[in-house]
């Protein structure tokens, strides 16, 4: 199941704060609804956001096991759909943050 995080501030500390205060309670409510996996979808951001996003997703995955929690970062509907199709069929994949490349991977 995809969960759109929504717009966050450009500044990493403000974005992390808003995520934890405003978005995380909605994520936890969704997880309490009995899903077997949840994929957060973040808007693309520069590398300064990677650490807090990775930490949040990894912590959620550990705390919500056996529910699988992963995250994607991208703005291509096709790319997000393809990545989500992969995540759903990879039963051991949890706690990962995948930044999608709109230009392809090489």
Cα 83 to chain centroid, rounded = 11
**Position 103 pLDDT exceeds 70:** no
Q: Give Rg (Cα) of the chain.
A: 13
Q: Which residue in the block uniquely carries the two structure tokens 């956001």?
A: 49
What is the residue extent of each domain of the chain?
2-99
Q: Model confidence over 34-48: pLDDT tens digits?
A: 899 999 999 999 999
**Position 106 pLDDT exceeds 70:** no
């Amino acid at each position: 199941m995809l969960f759109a995080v929504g717009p966050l501030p450009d500044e990493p500390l403000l974005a992390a704060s808003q995520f934890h205060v405003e978005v995380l309670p909605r994520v936890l409510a969704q997880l309490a609804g009995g899903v077997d996996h949840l994929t957060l979808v973040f808007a693309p951001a520069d590398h300064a956001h990677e650490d807090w996003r990775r930490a949040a997703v990894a912590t959620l995955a550990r705390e919500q096991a056996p529910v699988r929690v992963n995250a994607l970062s991208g703005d291509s509907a096709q790319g997000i759909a393809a990545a989500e199709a992969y995540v759903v069929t990879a039963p051991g994949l949890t706690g990962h943050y995948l930044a999608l490349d709109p230009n392809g991977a090489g």
